[in-house]
Structure 1
């Protein structure tokens, strides 16, 4: 278990920053550009249209912190830690989103009971069942990453094995991108975002063991592929919403994301540690889960009656408050109980055994 002194407060702040970027992307750009909100923010969308890159930061952070969380843990303990971390807030997010959709938002979205039940598993992508909320797609990417980390815990996690695993994953990414491997292989490889997970893992290795030649090569290679894929992804997003993305801006944002996380790995952000950042980090996941469809429905319902800037500010504040309540009333009390339930119980001592 990490001591409080080892907590990386900067990552807590970066998580919330990434989530707010995604929130602004949805509320001030993709909502109206995609036909889910009548409230337009044409001027603001010139910069908020890049907010989806908050997801890229999420994936880079995930590579770092999930490997950190798994290091030294047995497979069961790792699985329990991920279930406890992900599911309580997720279940609440599904229920709230479904209820708001059924009662207020059927003109925008549709949900069914079988769809909700499938979503509760977080594996709805396997039978190709639609997400209750559009943002849940990233959880499927995360779950597949967790399976790879679980494999490391099963074979035994060492510095050498993790380094070999990262190079192998990067090599498979190149083979998928080159068309050498069939498309079905990308279900595991995730070439669209694998460079973020790999780079995050490499930066954790830098944080834990210090710099070596392999890390000095891995991170820049991942950065190059990240820029290449991010520009291609931006073109696809631009076609969807009929806007143009600047390759220069995309490149700059991706480089900054890598640079900031490198500073974290080098422990150069420790002086920025503030206790309130722990709360900021705790708000991130429930905020991400709750904001999209519920927010679109609120914008649709109130957009014609409330000043758009007042509505935007109020909506973000309400979502942050809701995220805080989910954290305090659901995650904090339920997580330890769920952990005790899922953790392996030690057998009771027999007669005469001293404990």
Structure 2
């Protein structure tokens, strides 16, 4: 049975390639919404532009992945609440070091772009905002993220800390004990709503958590299906009826796609596997690198079809730079985090 094959991978401590490939897909989707959804490209490829407008769903896919893989990683490493301090330190090294390095890269590229293309204009860098982005302090000072991809890292950090505190509850085989942890979060939505706070996305994370509970045999297939259907319906109602958003259906379908991909895709596709491996680096740097590369030739290109070709070339170049970033920044941070 295909559901059982994922359990076997987890019990054998095998790498789950479906998760890694899904990361690659999600990261590409986010990239496309940032740089291929512009109206001026419509005449070159209507299908690509229309499809890229849904690239924001890559973020929802990342939330499903995190709901599954973060508690699974802790469970595999026999995490205990007494290790919470070490868990937080490892997170700082593994995630926050590459994040801070990407802020430095963003500032460097902005300076280079300014002096090459905009030397006659005033340098547009708010240094206080840059510094507050370190540690996500900008959220509490009412400052913006200098890279609009960063907000999801703040959400993911909150979820990481939540799992560190409540892993014992969500892995408990007692139905009522597990659901206490869920209800505490659901209740927060009535008083504290905001896209920068992870409980506003908890119903998406929950689908991943249910998959995690299934593969470690805390729940069985009927509860997995019923619980996932329930939170999807609840999330649809929350988005469409309470928040009055028109994204309810796409988000629901993206969530179903993500969890289905994790369970049912077994064939390893090398390109997607590679993109998944460097997905965090690509996610961190794709905006500043692409913004720096586009002005090199695009202002001199007037045909939409050639602009599209150029942007694809920039995408490939950005992937190459992300690989270098992965090798010199992210991979050493991964190794260092294991020693903390």
CA contact (8 A) 1:231 1:250 kept: no
> What TM-score results when the alignment is normalised by the length of structure 2?
0.78
CA distance in 1, matches of 2:332, 2:194: 40
What are the residue-to-residue correspondences of 1:228-247 with 2, within 5 Å?
228-229=237-238
Alignment-derived partner of residue 92 in structure 2: 83
CA contact (8 A) 1:13 1:280 kept: yes
User: SS state of the match for residue 133, structure 1?
Assistant: coil
**Among residues 15, 27, 50, which one is paired with 1:46 in the alignment?**
50
Q: What does the per-residue CA deviation read over 1:266-318, in whole Å, with 9 as the maximum and x for residues that have no partner?
A: xx43x414677653322101111111243234334532224212211111111
Alignment-derived partner of residue 348 in structure 1: none
Alignment-derived partner of residue 287 in structure 2: 292
Query: Does 1:65 find its partner at 2:69?
Result: yes
Alignment-derived partner of residue 102 in structure 2: 93
Alignment-derived partner of residue 320 in structure 1: 319
CA contact (8 A) 2:185 2:199 kept: yes
Alignment-derived partner of residue 19 in structure 1: 27
Alignment-derived partner of residue 261 in structure 2: 260
Cα distance change of structure 1 residues 20 and 189 upon mapping to structure 2, 3 Å threshold: closer
CA distance in 1, matches of 2:126, 2:29: 30
Alignment-derived partner of residue 113 in structure 1: 127
Query: Does 1:200 find its partner at 2:239?
Result: no
Cα distance change of structure 1 residues 101 and 233 upon mapping to structure 2, 3 Å threshold: farther
User: SS state of the match for residue 7, structure 1?
Assistant: coil
CA distance in 1, matches of 2:233, 2:214: 19
CA distance in 2, matches of 1:8, 1:108: 49
Alignment-derived partner of residue 347 in structure 1: none
Q: What does the per-residue CA deviation read over 1:128-148, in whole Å, with 9 as the maximum and x for residues that have no partner?
A: 332120110111111111121
Alignment-derived partner of residue 28 in structure 1: 36
Aligned length: 313
Q: What is the Cα-based RMSD across aligned positions, in Å?
A: 3.4
CA contact (8 A) 1:21 1:54 kept: yes
CA contact (8 A) 1:144 1:188 kept: yes
Cα distance change of structure 1 residues 228 and 76 upon mapping to structure 2, 3 Å threshold: same
CA distance in 1, matches of 2:178, 2:198: 11
CA contact (8 A) 1:176 1:186 kept: no
Q: What does the per-residue CA deviation read over 1:170-192, in whole Å, with 9 as the maximum and x for residues that have no partner?
A: 43565455xxx32369976622x
CA distance in 1, matches of 2:151, 2:199: 13
User: SS state of the match for residue 172, structure 2?
Assistant: helix
CA contact (8 A) 2:26 2:59 kept: yes
Cα distance change of structure 1 residues 279 and 164 upon mapping to structure 2, 3 Å threshold: farther
How far 1:120 sits from its partner (Å)? 2.4
Relative contact order: is structure 1 or structure 2 higher (C-alpha 8 Å, sep ≥ 6)?
2
CA distance in 1, matches of 2:123, 2:21: 32
CA distance in 2, matches of 1:108, 1:233: 43
**Among residues 147, 165, 168, which one is paired with 2:161 in the alignment?**
147
CA distance in 1, matches of 2:177, 2:143: 31
CA contact (8 A) 1:69 1:78 kept: no
CA contact (8 A) 1:176 1:182 kept: yes
> What TM-score results when the alignment is normalised by the length of structure 1?
0.75
Q: What does the per-residue CA deviation read over 1:94-146, in whole Å, with 9 as the maximum and x for residues that have no partner?
A: 11111222331578994333322222224432333321201101111111111
Unaligned runs of 5+ in 2: 1-9
Alignment-derived partner of residue 127 in structure 1: 141
CA distance in 1, matches of 2:211, 2:59: 18
Cα distance change of structure 1 residues 297 and 322 upon mapping to structure 2, 3 Å threshold: closer
CA distance in 2, matches of 1:321, 1:303: 19
Q: What does the per-residue CA deviation read over 1:193-228, in whole Å, with 9 as the maximum and x for residues that have no partner?
A: 111111111111111115155433321112223434
Query: Does 1:159 find its partner at 2:166?
Result: no
